[in-house]
Amino acid sequence: MATSKPAGKPNSATKEELQTYYKEMLLIRRFEEKAGQLYGMGQIGGFCHLYIGQEAVVVGLESAAKEGDQRVTTYRDHGHMLACGMDPKGVMAELTGREGGYSRGKGGSMHMFSKEKEFYGGHGIVGANVPIGAGLAFANKYRGNDNVAFTYFGDGAANQGQVYETFNMASLWKLPVIFVIENNQYAMGTSLARASSTPALYTRGEAFGIPGEAVDGMDVLAVRDASQKATAHCRAGDGPYILEMNTYRYRGHSMSDPAKYRTREEVQKMREERDPIDHVRELLVSSDYATEDDLKAIDKEIKSVVNDAAKFAQESPEPAEAELWTDVYR
Amino acid sequence: MATQILMPALSPTMEEGTLAKWLKKEGDTVSSGDILAEIETDKATMEFEAVDEGILGKIVVPEGTAGVKVNTPIAVLLEEGEDASAADNLSTDAAPAAEEAPAAEAGADLPDEGPGAQPKVPAAVDVPETPEVPEGTTYKSQTVREALRDAMAEEMRRDGDVFLMGEEVAEYQGAYKISQGLLDEFGGQRVIDTPITEHGFAGLAVGAAFAGLKPIVEFMTFNFALQAIDHIINSAAKTLYMSGGQMGSPIVFRGPNGAAARVAAQHSHDFATTYAQVPGLKVVQPYSAADAKGLLKAAIRDPNPVIFLENEILYGRSFDVPELDDFVLPIGKARIARRGTDVTIVSFGIGMTYSMQAAEELEKEGISAEVIDLRSLRPLDTETVIRSVQKTNRCITVEEGFPVCSIGNHISAVLMQEAFDYLDAPVINCTGKDVPMPYAANLEKLALVTTAEVIAAVKAVTYR
């Protein structure tokens, strides 16, 4: 069984690929910064978990997805929605609880869905999306297609019992599911070392015969390579695959996190030395794929997309009172 | 001294079985632990071991005999050196103690469920109200078990997206034989044995439903569904709302609910009210085989998650089921099981057994009871209840679940708010007792609702 540590140097990428990754990651970064601002202004309520720092994970994984593939995640979900092509306006308007939101204001930050983009949430219960992801994969197998279900969860969820029930069934029935463990080192305020008896999460499938791999989740090209390998494995009918993405979130667990469990220096060091967006920016410049002016133009374009989304989210009306009673039953 | 070998109870709810095969013949020496016979219950074929040693003096019940009641003498065991004639001297009539035996006790006030036996409830009761079945329809006698299986098979034939998943549903043919024959007909792709991991497979099925398939999830009992309740409530029931109507879960969670017989607290919990509280779920609990069939077919077709609560004791009970190609009942419509004028008895599921028996007894005393079988607990057909109470002015409710926040409590509140001026007496709720289910036969009986309690409640509200 191929359970392995990080592979060697990732393959190179074309100019177009790098530009795409850069834009997609930057969109998530700027979107989340704006969401943070709106939260501070009281326009977004409740829980709001930002994805800043982890952008390379979802962008790299999505690069190997094809039409019909599904994705499902827990509540740190804004990045996943943007990466699979959902409209930033609809996502932001859901954060502000407005009619124009993906769930018409009834789901909020943690509960958003898009049947069209095969995005199955946005789940508020840690670990619950894992069997659901295997169920999406079950449907692929039942229908005899070669689609894959990307099932994301965190290092905290990796200790949930239902994850292992799911590993067992996914392997037993050879379901085409990629279990992406986004190890951002902290389950809310509890570090991996304090919560996990065995910190190498990519080995957690060994008992079930599921191959696993640790990946540098701050390097979008490493993530892309891993995603290609894992999707090929699943599409060939060889069953599930585990990818542990070693990543880092810059912001608190949610907006109300005092962040006493780690030092400012630790966060600063990651930002300065390992930032996934800076990494691609440097690659673009050093490969002569983009000039500073090109990058500025991209920044401007992304900023305008995000500003439009925020404007839409602020101007969209609150849901009509009659919406209280709709969508309970079909 | 010659001793009788009695027909054993091989499951908590077994009342009778088929003596499939004798593995010892008359004159054979028997040691303790030897397999004497193969006995077929409604769930499985079991080997019956000898407890004592001796010589098999006489076989009383020949092999191939069906409908042998538990505790009926099936053979006589002789001691070493004893003459075969000793067997003849021993009475082979039903053992006098049989009525007191635990298995018989639990079902003592229940109608017989044997193939030839007629249910004690009047036949007319089992025929649903006319609008649901066209005039001239013929009926056949079927057990609830067969009706449930037929409902699943018919829907699986009709729609390739419907599949059945659960513990022992495929190769074992169902822990309670509900899925008998389905694996043969539909194959392992659509009839799927799961590991014993309710939390995981319930979540997996919800994911499959999100993707547009129509899973039927069988829980061996709803007690075990507590392990999966997060997926039933948080994942299945809430997602349509949380997604602004985009993503529903067309899924059925079904299995036996409530007390069976002598299986104690962890296997006897009644979850009717627990699920009936949750918006986004539909909750159905049928009593008759016809309702079981028509409502399960409706549940499978329903685009919402449906909790389908069955009852182990009712599985083997026979009722008249209409012989129609596609018999589907509406979810959310109560059935008037018996017309009456003096009092309304509202019940559902196995509570109907006590209610119908009470109504029959009360009739003899000149009290005419109208019995309403709710069938569906969410949505709840309060309209039918109110209309009946407007006529009878008195109401009692009957259910096996716990008394606090019971369905009866809710009905009482609805009547107080919407039919207060029609009530001539406070509504009485007959329920199970507010204790975990005890194991001891006498205590279990006390913990459940009884026909006598129903009769007493009716007399109280009618001031008799």
Count other C-beta atoms under 10 Å from residue B245's C-beta: 17
> Can you give the pLDDT at residue A3?
55
Inter-chain touch A103–B282, beta carbons under 8 Å = no
- Closest residue of A to B236, CA-based? A132
Assign 3-state DSSP to chain B and report helix, strand, coil percentages, each to 5.
35, 20, 45
Count other C-beta atoms under 10 Å from residue B433's C-beta: 14
Q: Does B231 touch chain A (CB under 8 A)?
A: yes
> Can you give the pLDDT at residue B147?
98
Inter-chain touch A327–B245, beta carbons under 8 Å = yes
- Closest residue of B to A107, CA-based? B242
> Can you give the pLDDT at residue B58?
92
What radius of gyration, in Å, describes the C-alpha atoms of chain A? 19
- Closest residue of B to A124, CA-based? B234
Inter-chain touch A120–B241, beta carbons under 8 Å = no
Residue range B18-37, pLDDT digits in tens: 999 999 999 999 988 888 99
| Structural domain includes residue A326 | no
Give the Cα separation of B28 and B33 in Å (integer). 14
Inter-chain touch A169–B204, beta carbons under 8 Å = yes
pLDDT, mean of residues A168-191: 96
| Structural domain includes residue A7 | no
> Can you give the pLDDT at residue B10?
79
Which has the closest alpha carbon to A81: A35, A38, A125, A145? A35
For residue B43, pLDDT beyond 80:
no
Distance from CA of B167 to the nearest CA of A (A): 13
Inter-residue contact B396 to B461 (CB < 8 Å): yes
Residue B267 annotated as catalytic:
yes
Give the Cα separation of B5 and A96 in Å (integer). 75
Q: How many CB pairs under 8 A join A and B?
A: 145
| Structural domain includes residue A322 | no
Q: How many residues does chain B have?
A: 464
Helices (H), A63-97: 78-83, 88-95
First and final C-alpha spacing in chain A: 45
Tokens of B290: 């016809």
Inter-chain touch B213–A139, beta carbons under 8 Å = yes
Given B267, B269, B370, B399, the catalytic residue? B267
Secondary structure E strands in B174-270: 191-193, 214-218, 252-256
For testing contact with chain B, the best of A112, A163, A328 (most B CBs within 10 A):
A328
Q: Which of A102, A149, A165 is closest, CB to CB, to B199?
A: A165
Distance from CA of A136 to the nearest CA of B (A): 5
> Can you give the pLDDT at residue A260?
85
Given B16, B132, B198, B218, the catalytic residue? B198
Q: Does B194 touch chain A (CB under 8 A)?
A: yes
**B3-104 domain in CATH 2.40.50.100?**
yes
Instruction: Find chain A residues with C-beta within 8 A of B227's C-beta.
Output: none
Inter-chain touch A103–B246, beta carbons under 8 Å = yes
Domain tally for chain A?
1
DSSP count for chain A of H helices, then E strands: 11, 8
Query: What residues contact A23, with CB distance under 8 A and at least 6 apart?
Result: A298, A301, A302
| Structural domain includes residue A297 | yes
User: Worst-scoring range by mean pLDDT, A4-13, A57-66, A100-109, B408-417?
Assistant: A4-13
pLDDT, mean of residues B88-113: 44
Give the Cα separation of B92 and A205 in Å (integer). 61
Burial level of B427, CB count in 10 A (0-12/13-18/19+)? Answer: buried
pLDDT mean across residues, chain B = 90
B94 DSSP assignment: P
For testing contact with chain A, the best of B159, B243, B247 (most A CBs within 10 A):
B243
Tokens of A222: 């490493």
For residue A7, pLDDT beyond 70:
no
For testing contact with chain A, the best of B196, B206, B246 (most A CBs within 10 A):
B246
Inter-chain touch B280–A104, beta carbons under 8 Å = no
Residue B198 annotated as catalytic:
yes
Tokens of B409: 């409590």
For residue B63, pLDDT beyond 90:
yes
| Structural domain includes residue A229 | yes
Give, to the nearest 10 degrees, the angle between helix A292-315 and helix A88-95. Answer: 50
Distance from CA of A129 to the nearest CA of B (A): 8
Distance from CA of A244 to the nearest CA of B (A): 21
- Give the DSSP per-residue string, A112-143: --BTTTTEEEE-SSTTTHHHHHHHHHHHHHHH
Inter-residue contact A99 to A105 (CB < 8 Å): yes
User: How does residue B88 score in pLDDT terms, banded at 50, 70 and 90?
Assistant: low
Chain CA centroid to CA A28, Å: 10
> Can you give the pLDDT at residue B314?
97
- Scan for tokens 């994850």, then name that residue: A163
| Structural domain includes residue A109 | yes
> Can you give the pLDDT at residue B94?
45
> Can you give the pLDDT at residue B124?
37
The domain spanning residue A47 has which CATH number?
A: 3.40.50.970
Instruction: Find chain B residues with C-beta within 8 A of A161's C-beta.
Output: 199
Range ranked top by mean pLDDT from A77-86, B55-64, B66-75: A77-86
Q: Does B235 touch chain A (CB under 8 A)?
A: yes
> Can you give the pLDDT at residue A10?
54
**B335-461 domain in CATH 3.30.70.270?**
no
Instruction: Find chain B residues with C-beta within 8 A of A112's C-beta.
Output: 243
Tokens of B31: 């040691």
CA dihedral A245, A251, A255, A261 (to 10 degrees): 90
Inter-chain touch A139–B240, beta carbons under 8 Å = no
Bridging pattern class, strands B395-398 and B343-347:
parallel
Inter-chain touch B207–A120, beta carbons under 8 Å = yes
Q: Does B199 touch chain A (CB under 8 A)?
A: yes
Query: 3-class DSSP state for residue B377?
Result: strand
Instruction: Find chain B residues with C-beta within 8 A of A327's C-beta.
Output: 240-241, 243-245
pLDDT > 90 fraction of chain B, expressed in percent and rounded: 78
For residue B96, pLDDT beyond 50:
no
Residue range B110-127, pLDDT digits in tens: 334 333 343 333 333 444
Query: 3-class DSSP state for residue B436?
Result: coil
User: How does residue B102 score in pLDDT terms, banded at 50, 70 and 90?
Assistant: very low
Distance from CA of A4 to the nearest CA of B (A): 27
Find residue B373's DSSP bridge partners. Answer: B335, B347
Query: What residues contact A286, with CB distance under 8 A and at least 6 apart?
Result: none
> Can you give the pLDDT at residue A256?
80
Residue range A55-95, pLDDT digits in tens: 999 999 999 999 999 999 999 999 999 999 999 999 999 99
Query: What residues contact B440, with CB distance under 8 A and at least 6 apart?
Result: none
- Closest residue of B to A139, CA-based? B208
Inter-residue contact B263 to B357 (CB < 8 Å): no
Helices (H), chain A: 15-40, 55-62, 78-83, 88-95, 129-143, 161-172, 192-195, 220-235, 264-274, 276-286, 292-315
For residue B138, pLDDT beyond 60:
yes
> Can you give the pLDDT at residue B103?
39
| CA distance readout (Å), A135 to A130, A298, B55, B190, B265 | 9, 39, 57, 14, 32
Residue range A117-170, pLDDT digits in tens: 999 999 999 999 999 999 999 999 999 999 999 999 999 999 999 999 999 999
Q: Read off φ and ψ for residue A120, nearest 5 degrees.
A: -100, 30
Domain ranges, ordered by start, for chain B: 3-104, 130-322, 335-461
| Cis peptide bond prior to B379, omega within 30° of 0 | yes
pLDDT > 70 fraction of chain B, expressed in percent and rounded: 90
> Can you give the pLDDT at residue B409?
98
Q: Read off φ and ψ for residue B308, nearest 5 degrees.
A: -115, 105
For testing contact with chain B, the best of A47, A109, A142, A173 (most B CBs within 10 A):
A142
Which has the closest alpha carbon to A247: A54, A24, A25? A54
B320 DSSP assignment: E
User: How does residue B91 score in pLDDT terms, banded at 50, 70 and 90?
Assistant: low
Give the Cα separation of B264 and B436 in Å (integer). 8
User: How does residue B132 score in pLDDT terms, banded at 50, 70 and 90?
Assistant: confident
Inter-residue contact A240 to A177 (CB < 8 Å): yes
Tokens of B233: 């409530």
Residue range A234-281, pLDDT digits in tens: 999 999 999 999 999 999 888 888 778 999 899 999 999 999 999 999
Tokens of B322: 């209409």
Instruction: Find chain B residues with C-beta within 8 A of A47's C-beta.
Output: none
Q: Does B159 touch chain A (CB under 8 A)?
A: no
Distance from CA of A135 to the nearest CA of B (A): 4
pLDDT, mean of residues A226-230: 98
> Can you give the pLDDT at residue B121?
35
User: How does residue A202 score in pLDDT terms, banded at 50, 70 and 90?
Assistant: very high
Q: Read off φ and ψ for residue A314, nearest 5 degrees.
A: -85, -30
Q: Do domains B3-104 and B335-461 have the same CATH topology?
A: no
Query: What residues contact B339, with CB distance under 8 A and at least 6 apart?
Result: B370
pLDDT mean across residues, chain A = 95
**B130-322 domain in CATH 3.40.50.970?**
yes
- Give the DSSP per-residue string, A289-316: S--HHHHHHHHHHHHHHHHHHHHHHHHS
For residue B12, pLDDT beyond 80:
no
> Can you give the pLDDT at residue B40?
87
Chain CA centroid to CA B106, Å: 13
Residue range B335-376, pLDDT digits in tens: 999 999 999 999 999 999 999 999 999 999 999 999 999 999
Inter-chain touch B243–A112, beta carbons under 8 Å = yes
